[in-house]
A and B are shown apart, each in its own frame.
Chain A
Amino acid sequence: MMILKMKKEDLPAFLESAKEWGELWGPTTKDGKTSYAKVDSLSQMDLKATRTVIPPKKFLYPPRFTMFDFDEEGFVERTGDVPKRILFGLHPCDVHGILIMDKLFLETYKDPYYAERREKTLLLGHSCIPDDKCMCFATNTDFVAEGFDLFFTDLKMFYLVWVGSSKGHDLVRMRADLFSRNLDKNDILNYTEYRKWKTAQFKAKIDLTGMPDIFELGYNSPIWDELGEKCLSCGQCSMVCPTCNCYNVVDEVDLGTAEGTRDRFWDSCMFREYSVVAGGHNFRDKRADRLRLWYTHKLQAFIGEFGKPACVGCGRCVATCPVDINVATVSTALKEQEVGK
């Protein structure tokens, strides 16, 4: 890890040179919604937006993609046709989300499709402006020390730039003239000030301490039934959550042949069909059971296995669920044994 300094006005020039490595993508806002889009330059990006509708997981693990083509002889992987991309503007929660995806897709069983995209995608983080839905302070994901290639912290006149990988370092070297290693006392003071400022911005009411115990105690709580009655089973929460990773796999064949493709697409444990097993039996036929699974996975089971929650506090469930079911309302309801209005 290395921290450099860059003048703010030099960012466009740096990104211009970085484009030599691959396509430049960043957050853009159109008709009131923010999403990652391919851009030509910094001027098209919206760095003030707090969150995109869908997190950057969509680049590493697209909503729907073809894994391989098959015929009666065998199959040919569709790897190799992924473009090299630079994602600019990821917030600390986004990077933490990807670190969780890495655990799931790269550790015990390496997923070749994820691995290829991860390899060909550079992650350039950027500090953020928290809003009333941000909860990263409660999940210890408000700052990030790994997982990115570069991370830019905006200190008004300057950027402090964390170099997190050798690929990130290669980008820096393309325009070494724009970066300085001379950090002084003022930089430390400014950075300390920045951390204080960020920490003071949070307004969300959420406290996740003791969650594994609360979930254990509340396993049979009627709260789950109450929440289940409210839930629309729309699955939006799973689509927008940076750590939701479940998928379905389906074969498609070309008409009149035995040739076809094997496709993979995002699924959600909030759907009834997701837990149907052979013979039509369903272990989670009740909506309440599915909700309990979703939240137990995020705030209890994952902590047991990996020592941290599978929630990075991004606030997307808060911004998305039409009936206000989200990590804040669910954890509070379970603690207080009452579903809030």
Chain B
Amino acid sequence: MTRPSPKIGVYGFTGCAGDQLMILNCEDQLVDLFGATEIRSFVMAKSDNHEAELDVALVEGSISTEAQLKHLKDIRERSKVLIAIGTCACWGGPQAMKLGDGKFEERYKKVYGNAKITVSKAIEGQPLDAFVKVDMKIPGCPIDKQEFLKSVSKLVAGKHPYLLKSPVCLECKWKENKCLLLDGKFCAGPLTKGGCGAVCPSHNLPCVGCWGPTDDLNVSAEYDLLKEKGFVPEEIITKIRKFGGSGVMELVKNLEKKEAKK
């Protein structure tokens, strides 16, 4: 049984283009990928692009201008499935670390002053699902080749992709690493979605949370533990928010409320 090749579009908004680059970096499987699918649009990779109906749109980056928002809505309208790729598209990325603090205008003024902006009006950077329905999130900074290819392969085969939901600690323990939290290091592993192979802790470097929040994170327990280890509250919250974006916004707010009551 042969299925028609799915029509795919790859797009990038506010991000480092690392996720699109990672797709191009799938050297061994790139030919298969282009063979098994019909890549209708991928501006970063080719010049002959058709903006038409899509089976799957892979979208990188957060939305931070009105023009981007318009483009995103257009992509959504003509795509059966829309997948956010990379932490910026999924949760907002570092540009969303202050999300929801109500001080965007203030920050904007500080940077641009009264300069006349002719490109497109900037808005506070937010993940795709703040504006349109997102069918699936493949986070990562950048995304992991294997996780990406496994997901696409399943989509092409008409099956549901499976992404690990558990935290970085799962694979960290498979590698028999000693937990860095026990050594008093700031490891964001328990808060962060796994699938990266626990690369950082396996090199004795604490996880910084670059894959964004995991399925079920206990922000307040991590906060209490780190405070006990001697970290100051501002640093803990800044680091949790660095890649957490919309995924930790409410959790951090609750934590701050709880702390204020103490």
Q: Which of A's residues lie within 8 Å of B, judged by CB?
A: 32-33, 35, 52-54, 63-64, 72, 229-236, 239-240, 250-258, 260, 266-268, 271-273, 287, 320, 322-323
Contacts and interface: CB of A to CB of B under 8 A. Distances in A.
15 contacts: A52-B176, A53-B178, A63-B174, A231-B221, A232-B169, A233-B218, A235-B167, A236-B172, A236-B173, A251-B154, A252-B153, A256-B32, A256-B153, A258-B1, A271-B216
Q: Which of B159, B172, B221 gathers the greatest number of chain A CB atoms within 10 Å?
A: B221
B174 A253 contact: no
Contact of A233 (B156, B190, B225): B190
Nearest 6 A/B pairs, CB to CB: A256-B36, A239-B173, A272-B216, A234-B169, A232-B190, A234-B190
Given A239-B170, A272-B215, A322 B182 contact: yes
Contacts of A252: 150, 153-154
A64 B179 CA distance: 20
A323 B225 contact: yes
B178 A273 contact: no
Contacts of A268: 166, 170
Nearest to A287: B218
B153 A250 contact: no
A46 to B, nearest CB: 14
Given A229-B221, A255-B33, A287-B218, A236 B169 contact: yes
A232 B159 contact: no
B93 interface: no
Given A251-B159, A253-B154, A322-B225, A234 B174 contact: no
Interface in B203-245: 215-218, 220-222, 224-225
A255 B156 contact: yes
A235 B156 contact: no
A255 B152 contact: yes
Contact of A256 (B35, B169, B170): B35
A233 B167 CA distance: 8
